[in-house]
């Protein structure tokens, strides 16, 4: 596998094809021994909701056309927030099957041009339209409900969620490609400076927790999830080149090997026996660990899905890093910080880095970290 | 598959108060100044279901995981459509 490229942020003037071509161009330039587009045999591209955002369906051949891959097979994957993760897995399966040796996988979405109310409505389509969205559930709302169940069962506190946000922003401050390339302290300083400039009352937050407890600076989105518990609305694209192990050295001196992968599925939230854990993530992790021949103890760095802060806490439990209900305490004790025993989302996570829904940035960052 | 009648009584298993509302709920009059509560109810018969939670003010701490609920229904008027009946629960 050869990385990389991810661009997240606000790009209202660009379309999904612009963003994807940009990511592809950067990826191509990063292949140290060179890549001829003609060598790419197939494309698996994740776009979750382009029909809603720019009235563009059938995105795979469009992307193939714009990166010069026509007439090779191009397949679009849609699996909500797992979209691009599944695209990578489909690419891995295709190469492992022996059908292809060189495959491009990627993900792209452009969301910021739409109003928050419209984005909220569109994202709810990733849930169950007839049972969840129909009674007003939004995506932040579903994770918020999960958070109340976790709080009730394990005593998890709002402060634990705030610790996740603070950690991920601290990490995002070191990532130049992050949508929020700033720690919460940086954001506090910016807000204070802006208030002074405008001659408004200058807020006097003592620390991050005071800022995050202030309903003015951190308003509720879906209680108990506040603004800084939610990953932002983002425009972004990313892609990765997957090649067969035998020919990897033709492209780069430093290939990264994918040694395990897994995937699962689950019911609508209300049908799940346990509201505080994701069965699909547990199953996927078990499969990946087994294929790779490793255990959770062997993992030295994890990029997990933190669309909301509660999701990161639960992911660290489902992946077996911590026992059920202990993920919150682990954040509090700094175990998941960059210098902790189990660093999680050192990229800044989706929280700071941005969350174009197909969600590839965390995967890309992990591979880039491995390269460097 | 067969239909089974349920009594419409249960306990709140999880909930949220939605302040940033989707376009569809804006049309029902909800918004930042008028949030709504939605949740997951564990029915006496065992299964769980998603529903609006009405008749209790979450800002006054009146909505809690574990509270007893009874079924109710709310009519929504969808733009350009006939009225639509939405599943809701209220404190028992």
Alpha carbon of residue A231 to chain centroid: 9
Q: Report pLDDT for A356.
A: 78
Q: Report pLDDT for A372.
A: 43
Structure token digits, residue A214: 């202030």
A49-77 pLDDT, tens digit each: 999 999 999 999 999 999 999 999 999 99
Nearest to A347 by CA among A111, A104, A178, A98: A178
By Cβ distance, the residue of A117, A131, A140 closest to B23 is: A117
Q: Give me the residues of chain A with pLDDT under 70, please.
A: 1-8, 357-372
Torsions phi, psi of A320, nearest 5? 85, 10
Q: Report pLDDT for B59.
A: 85
Q: Report pLDDT for A13.
A: 86
**Looking at the complex, does the CB of residue B19 fall below 8 Å from at least one CB of chain A?**
yes
Q: Report pLDDT for A57.
A: 93
Burial level of A306, CB count in 10 A (0-12/13-18/19+)? buried
Please indicate whether, in this complex, the C-beta atoms of A220 and B19 are within 8 angstroms of each other.
Answer: yes
**Looking at the complex, does the CB of residue B87 fall below 8 Å from at least one CB of chain A?**
yes
Please indicate whether, in this complex, the C-beta atoms of A116 and B65 are within 8 angstroms of each other.
Answer: no
**Looking at the complex, does the CB of residue A152 fall below 8 Å from at least one CB of chain B?**
yes
B15-67 pLDDT, tens digit each: 999 999 998 899 889 999 999 999 999 999 999 999 999 999 988 899 999 99
Q: Report pLDDT for B76.
A: 84
Spatial separation of the C-alpha atoms in residues A149 and A156, rounded to whole Å: 9
CA dihedral B87, A269, A125, A73 (to 10 degrees): -150
Spatial separation of the C-alpha atoms in residues A295 and A276, rounded to whole Å: 22
Whether A267 sits among the annotated catalytic residues: the reply is: no
Please indicate whether, in this complex, the C-beta atoms of B16 and A149 are within 8 angstroms of each other.
Answer: no
Beta strands (DSSP E) in chain A are 2-9, 42-46, 74-77, 102-110, 220-223, 225-226, 235-243
Put simply, the chain B residues between 27 and 86 with a CB less than 8 A from any chain A CB are 30, 35-36, 38-40, 47-52, 58, 65-66, 86
Please indicate whether, in this complex, the C-beta atoms of A269 and B88 are within 8 angstroms of each other.
Answer: no
Q: Report pLDDT for A28.
A: 96
**Structural contact between residues A222 and B20, judged by C-beta atoms closer than 8 angstroms:** yes
**Looking at the complex, does the CB of residue A314 fall below 8 Å from at least one CB of chain B?**
no
Please indicate whether, in this complex, the C-beta atoms of B16 and A120 are within 8 angstroms of each other.
Answer: no
Please indicate whether, in this complex, the C-beta atoms of B23 and A223 are within 8 angstroms of each other.
Answer: no
Smallest CA–CA distance, residue B12 to chain A, in Å, is 10
Structure token digits, residue A14: 């660009």
CA dihedral over B69, B72, B76, B81, signed as positive or negative:
positive
pLDDT mean over B61-89: 88
> At residue B74, does pLDDT exceed 80?
yes
Whether A355 sits among the annotated catalytic residues: the reply is: yes
- pLDDT band with cut points at 50, 70 and 90 for residue B83: confident
By Cβ distance, the residue of B22, B23, B48 closest to A270 is: B48
**Among all residues of chain B, which has the CA nearest to that of A129?**
B50
Q: What is the DSSP pairing of strand B9-18 with strand A42-46?
A: unpaired
Catalytic residue among A81, A230, A239, A307: A81
Q: CA end-to-end span of chain A, whole Å?
A: 14
What is the SS3 assignment for A14?
A: coil
Spatial separation of the C-alpha atoms in residues A284 and A288, rounded to whole Å: 6
B44 to A54, A171, B51, B67, B70: CA distances (angstroms): 45, 46, 15, 13, 10
**Among all residues of chain B, which has the CA nearest to that of A143?**
B16
Q: Report pLDDT for A255.
A: 93
**Looking at the complex, does the CB of residue B8 fall below 8 Å from at least one CB of chain A?**
no
Question: Can you give the C-alpha Rg of chain A in angstroms?
Answer: 20
Interface confidence (ipTM) of the complex: 0.94
A305-354 pLDDT, tens digit each: 999 999 999 999 999 999 999 999 999 999 999 999 999 999 999 999 88
**Structural contact between residues A207 and A117, judged by C-beta atoms closer than 8 angstroms:** no
**Looking at the complex, does the CB of residue B20 fall below 8 Å from at least one CB of chain A?**
yes
DSSP A103: E
């Amino acid at each position: 596998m050869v990385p990389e490229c991810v661009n997240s942020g606000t790009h209202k003037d660009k379309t999904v094809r612009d963003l994807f071509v940009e990511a592809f161009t950067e990826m191509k330039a990063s292949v140290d021994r060179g890549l001829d587009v003609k060598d790419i045999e197939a494309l698996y591209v994740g776009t979750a909701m382009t029909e809603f955002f720019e009235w563009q369906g059938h995105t795979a051949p469009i992307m193939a056309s714009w990166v010069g891959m026509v007439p090779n097979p191009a397949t679009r994957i849609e699996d909500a927030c797992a979209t691009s993760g599944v695209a990578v897995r489909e690419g891995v399966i295709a190469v492992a099957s022996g059908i292809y040796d060189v495959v491009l996988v990627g993900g792209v979405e452009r969301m910021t041009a739409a109003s928050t109310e419209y984005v909220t409505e569109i994202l709810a389509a990733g849930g169950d339209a007839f049972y969840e969205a129909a009674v007003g559930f939004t995506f932040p709302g579903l994770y918020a409900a999960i958070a109340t169940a976790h709080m009730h069962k394990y005593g998890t506190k709002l402060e634990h969620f705030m610790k996740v946000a603070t950690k991920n922003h601290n990490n995002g401050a070191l990532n130049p490609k992050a949508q929020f390339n700033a720690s919460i302290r940086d954001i506090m300083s910016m807000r204070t400076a802006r208030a002074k400039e405008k001659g408004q009352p200058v807020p006097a937050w003592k620390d991050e927790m005071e800022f995050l407890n202030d309903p003015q600076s951190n308003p509720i989105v879906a209680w108990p999830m506040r603004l800084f518990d939610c990953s932002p609305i983002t425009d972004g694209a990313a892609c990765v080149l997957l090649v067969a192990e035998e020919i990897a050295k033709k492209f780069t001196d430093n290939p990264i090997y994918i040694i395990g992968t897994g995937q699962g599925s689950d019911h609508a939230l209300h049908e799940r026996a346990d509201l505080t854990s994701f069965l699909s993530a547990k199953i996927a992790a078990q499969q990946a660990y087994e294929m790779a021949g490793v255990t959770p103890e062997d993992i030295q760095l994890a990029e997990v899905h933190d669309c909301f802060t509660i999701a990161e806490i639960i992911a660290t439990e489902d992946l077996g890093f911590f026992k059920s209900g202990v993920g919150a305490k682990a954040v509090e004790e700094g175990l998941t910080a960059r210098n902790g025993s189990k660093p999680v989302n050192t990229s800044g996570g989706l929280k700071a880095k941005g969350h174009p829904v197909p969600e590839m940035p965390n995967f890309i960052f992990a591979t880039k970290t491995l390269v460097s | 598959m067969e239909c089974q009648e349920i009594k419409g009584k249960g306990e709140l298993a999880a909930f949220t108060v939605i302040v940033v509302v989707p376009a569809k709920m804006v049309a029902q009059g909800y918004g930042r100044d008028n949030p709504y509560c939605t949740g997951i109810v564990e029915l006496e018969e065992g299964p769980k279901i998603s529903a609006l939670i009405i008749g209790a003010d979450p800002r006054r701490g009146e909505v809690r995981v574990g509270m007893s609920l009874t079924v109710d229904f709310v009519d929504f008027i969808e733009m350009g459509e006939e009225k639509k009946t939405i599943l809701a629960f209220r404190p028992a």
